[in-house]
């Protein structure tokens, strides 16, 4: 097991280094510069390049960047928040995005599980149909459609929730964004739960459990759901990351000071440092969560760990 975890961690570190290099290279090849105001003279642009060390060769800049990242310094923003250290930009924004993503995942996962369970237990009834319709809608409609529909109904017509995010009232003003953001993961989890549950319910060991006289919630939760959960956890990992990073559109609509909105702007304005720092954080989240899922998977189902180790050795 130790060997397995060690290997996974090592792979992750290599993946991050390769990724940083590719990011750096791609940004270097992008047209334009952070200082693309029409009114800047060539001399001024040169002074700014010197000031930020952008006139150094590619590899000098790359290694300098890697070393400063190791020290926790992501550099300063060039134009979207002139001269402000990126760590300061992230200080308030990262928690906001994580909070929103977290809320959405929590809501999406619990609602999704519930919906999937109902659909599976009431298989081929009207409940199943309704649950399926909801999850198909959730998967196929983009989140901004929900965001607009919620804004119009609950924000504008009914006036229950504010239309814009307000950092002084983070909970009440994050209700609509959370719901809109959770739709996709909810629908996905509902579909997965339904399929898995149906399979488990039809299996022999369920028949055995039932014939042993176990019934009701105990049968469902302990025997059916537990077995159905294993594959669900696997899809939950990428879903969490998707939800966290997918808040981009939602952040724009509800005017939420998160990192998604920052990412878009930094790309549009060639603010290299911000783009790299955010891509790095996104990748770190993705790789980190995948690592945890991988390890968890190994723990939950020893067969997988063993077969993987077999594969490596063969």
Partner 1 sequence: MKLNKILALILAFVMAISMTACGSDPVDQPVSDNPAQGEDANKEGKILNVHVTAAIDSIDPALTSAGDDFEVIGTMVEGLFQCDAAGAAIPGMAESYSIDENGTWTFNLREAYWSNGDPVTADDFVYAWQRCFSIPAEYVFLFETAGIKNASAILAGEKEISELGVYAVDDRTLVVEFDVPCAFFDSLMFFPVFYPVNRAFAEECGDLYGSAPEYYLSNGPFVLSEYTPAATEFKMVKNETYYDADAVELAGLTYKVILDSQQAYLAYQNGELDVCVLSSELADLLSTDPEFLATESGYLWYMSPNINNEYLANVNIRKAIGKAFDKEAVCNNILRNGSVPADFCIPVGLATGPDGKDYRESSGLTYNEYDVAEAQALWAAGLAELGVDSIELTLIFDDEESVKLVAEFIQQQLQENLAGLTITLQPYPKKQRSDLMKAHDYDIGLCRWGPDYADPLTYLDLWTDGYTHNYGEWHSDEYMEILGKIKTVEYAVDPEARWELIKDAEQIIADESVILPVYQNCNASLIKSDISGIEFHAVGLNRVYKNVKVG
Is residue 276 exposed (0-12), middle (13-18) or buried (19+ Cβ within 10 Å)? buried
- The C-alpha atoms of residue 187 and residue 238 are separated, in whole angstroms, by 14
Among 3, 32, 213, 314, binds partner 1 (CB under 8 A): 32
Among 23, 24, 52, 79, binds partner 1 (CB under 8 A): 79
Report residue 266 as tokens: 């930094």
Nearer to partner 1 by Cβ, of 19 and 40: the residue is 40
Nearer to partner 1 by Cβ, of 231 and 257: the residue is 257
Question: Smallest distance from the beta carbon of 123 to partner 1, in angstroms?
Answer: 13
Nearer to partner 1 by Cβ, of 166 and 301: the residue is 166
- The C-alpha atoms of residue 38 and residue 43 are separated, in whole angstroms, by 13
| 180 near partner 1 (CB under 8 A) | no
130 C-beta neighbours (distance < 10 Å), count:
14
Report residue 240 as tokens: 């969490």
| 169 near partner 1 (CB under 8 A) | yes
156 C-beta neighbours (distance < 10 Å), count:
11
Q: At what angle do helices 86-121 and 259-268 cross, to 10 degrees?
A: 120
CA angle 223, 227, 232 (to 5 degrees): 140
Backbone angles phi, psi at 159, to 5 degrees: 65, 30
Among 18, 60, 68, 83, binds partner 1 (CB under 8 A): 83
Question: Smallest distance from the beta carbon of 195 to partner 1, in angstroms?
Answer: 21
Query: Which residues contact residue 54 at a Cβ distance below 8 angstroms, ignoring those fewer than 6 apart?
Result: 33, 34, 48, 61
**Residues across the chain:** 314
Give the footprint of partner 1 on residues 45-64 (CB under 8 A). 47-48
Among 8, 123, 265, 308, binds partner 1 (CB under 8 A): 265
Q: Is the dihedral of CA 91, 92, 95, 97 positive or negative?
A: negative
Question: Smallest distance from the beta carbon of 85 to partner 1, in angstroms?
Answer: 8
Question: Smallest distance from the beta carbon of 126 to partner 1, in angstroms?
Answer: 8
Nearer to partner 1 by Cβ, of 167 and 307: the residue is 167
Name the segment binding partner 1 (CB under 8 A); options: 107-115, 207-215, 240-248, 252-260: 252-260
Give the footprint of partner 1 on residues 273-292 (CB under 8 A). none
Query: Which residues contact residue 111 at a Cβ distance below 8 angstroms, ignoring those fewer than 6 apart?
Result: 182, 186, 190
Question: Smallest distance from the beta carbon of 111 to partner 1, in angstroms?
Answer: 13
Among 50, 68, 92, 203, binds partner 1 (CB under 8 A): 92
Evaluate whether 248 touches 282 at the Cβ level (below 8 Å).
no
Question: Smallest distance from the beta carbon of 62 to partner 1, in angstroms?
Answer: 24
Give the footprint of partner 1 on residues 147-166 (CB under 8 A). 148, 151-153, 155-159, 162-166
Is residue 181 exposed (0-12), middle (13-18) or buried (19+ Cβ within 10 Å)? buried
Nearer to partner 1 by Cβ, of 200 and 256: the residue is 256
Contact residues: partner 1, CB under 8 A: 31-32, 36-41, 43-44, 47-48, 77, 79-84, 88-89, 92, 118, 122, 127, 148, 151-153, 155-159, 162-169, 172-173, 252-257, 261-262, 265
């Amino acid at each position: 097991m130790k060997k397995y975890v060690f290997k996974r961690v090592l792979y992750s570190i290599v993946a991050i280094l390769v990724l940083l290099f590719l990011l750096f290279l791609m940004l270097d090849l992008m047209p334009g510069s952070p200082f693309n105001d029409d009114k800047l003279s060539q001399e001024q642009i040169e002074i700014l390049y010197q000031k930020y060390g952008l006139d150094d060769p590619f590899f000098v800049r790359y290694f300098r960047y890697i070393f400063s990242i190791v020290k926790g310094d992501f550099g300063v923003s060039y134009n979207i928040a002139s001269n402000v250290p990126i760590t300061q930009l992230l200080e308030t924004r990262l928690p906001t995005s994580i909070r929103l993503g977290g809320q959405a995942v929590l809501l999406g996962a619990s609602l999704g599980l519930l919906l999937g369970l109902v659909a599976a237990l009431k298989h081929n009834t009207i409940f199943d149909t309704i649950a399926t319709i909801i999850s198909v809608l959730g998967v196929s409609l983009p989140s901004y459609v929900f965001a607009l529909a919620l804004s119009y109904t609950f924000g504008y017509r009914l006036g229950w929730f504010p239309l814009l995010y307000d950092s002084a009232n983070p909970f009440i003003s994050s209700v609509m964004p959370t719901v809109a953001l959770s739709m996709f993961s909810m629908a996905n989890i509902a579909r997965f739960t339904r399929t898995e549950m149906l399979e488990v319910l039809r299996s022999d060991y369920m028949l055995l459990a039932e014939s042993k006289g176990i019934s009701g919630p105990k049968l469902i939760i302990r025997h059916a759901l537990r077995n159905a959960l294993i594959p669900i956890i696997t899809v939950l990992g990428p879903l969490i990351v998707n939800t966290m990073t997918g808040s981009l559109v939602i952040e724009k609509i509800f005017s939420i000071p998160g990192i998604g909105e920052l990412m878009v702007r930094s790309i549009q304005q060639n603010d290299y440092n911000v783009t790299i720092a955010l891509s790095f954080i996104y990748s770190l989240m993705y790789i980190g969560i995948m690592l945890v899922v991988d390890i968890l998977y190994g723990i939950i189902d020893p067969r997988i760990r063993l077969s993987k180790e077999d594969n490596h050795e063969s």
